[in-house]
Structure 1
Amino acid sequence: MLNQVVLVGRLTKDPEIVKLVDGRKVSEITIAVKRAFKNYDGEYETDFIKCVLWENLAVYLHKYCHKGDLIAVKGRLQIKKIEKDNKINQTLELIGEKISYLSGNKNTEEIES
C-alpha cells in the first residue's frame, strides 16, 4: 500500500506555529492549488487544501515562507475525526513530510521531517 501525495500551491496566509502541551510544534496551513483544467465557464478553479506540518517542517515554513509563496508539499493523506455535539465529522488532511520552496529569487530549498 502506498499513500503519497505531492501538491504545489500558494500559501493562503503566513504560517503560524502552535506549541502543544507536550512541547511538540505544529503548523496547520492551507495551500491554494489551481486545477489543471478549465471548468464549464472556461475558468480555472482552485482547491484549498489543509496541510499539517510537525516539528522541523513547521519551524522551517514559519521562518522562511509567507502568504502567497509557492511551495510543494509532499506527504500522506489522513482522515481526522472530530466529535462535536455527539456527531463524528471526518476531514481529509495532508500530513507534510517534505517541503520545497519554489517562489522568488531564493534557491529552491527543501526540508524533510
Structure 2
Amino acid sequence: MINRVILVGRLTKNPELRYTPNGVAVTSFTIAVDRPFSNQQGEREADFIPVVVWRRQAENAANYLAKGSLTGVDGRIQTRNYENNEGRRVYVTEVVADSVQFLEPKGSRRAAAGDNYGASMPAGPTSGSTPNYGPTDSQQNAASRDQNPPSFNDPFAHDSKPIDISDDDLPF
C-alpha cells in the first residue's frame, strides 16, 4: 500500500514551533495549494492543507519559513482523533512531512523575478545542514571558466522561429 503526498504551496501564516515533554521539536503550518482549474466565476481556488514536521526538520522550517513562503512538502497523510474540552470527538487529517523544500530564499527579490534556486532540507535527526540558496562554489567556478555560463531561462522564450527537429531525433 502507498501513502505518499507531494505538495507545493505557500504558507498561510508563520509556522508554530513547539516541543513535546520529551524535548522533541514539532512544527505545524498550513499551506495553500492552488487547484489546477478555475471555478464557474473564472477564479482559481486553493486547498488549505495542514502540515506537521518533526525533530530537526521542524526547527529548520520554523527558522527559515514565514507566511507567504513558497514551500514543497513530501510526506504522508495521517488521520487522528481526540476528544476536545466539550467532550466531542474531533477528527484531524494532516500531512506528516518527511522533507520540506524551501523553494525561494526568505525575503528574496530574486524569487519575485522568477530566479528560484530552491533549497532542500532532508528530514531526520541527522540533518544539521543549513539551506543553500544559490550555486555552490564549484558551480560558480565552473561558470566563470565557461565562456557560455549555464542559463536558467528558456532558450526559446523570445525566439519566434520554428524549431527544426527531425522525427528521427524524437524519443517517441
| TM score, norm. by length of structure 2 | 0.62
Distance 1:100 1:19 in 2: 22
Q: Partners in 2 of 1:112 and 1:2 — Cα distance?
A: 21
Structure 1 segment 1-113 matched on structure 2, within 5 A: 1-84=1-84, 85-104=86-105, 105=110, 107-113=117-123
Higher share of residues assigned helix = 2
Q: Percent identity?
A: 36
Amino acid at match of 1:87: R
Gaps of 5+ in 1: none
More strand by share: 1
Taking only aligned residues, the RMSD between alpha carbons, in angstroms, comes to 1.4
CA distance in 2, matches of 1:41, 1:21: 49
TM-score (norm 1): 0.92
Alpha carbons 2:104, 2:119 under 8 Å: kept: no
2:144 matched to which residue of 1? Answer: none
Unaligned runs of 5+ in 2: 111-115, 124-172
How far apart are 1:28 and its partner, in Å?
A: 0.8
What amino acid is the match of 2:94? E
Higher-Rg member (1/2): 2
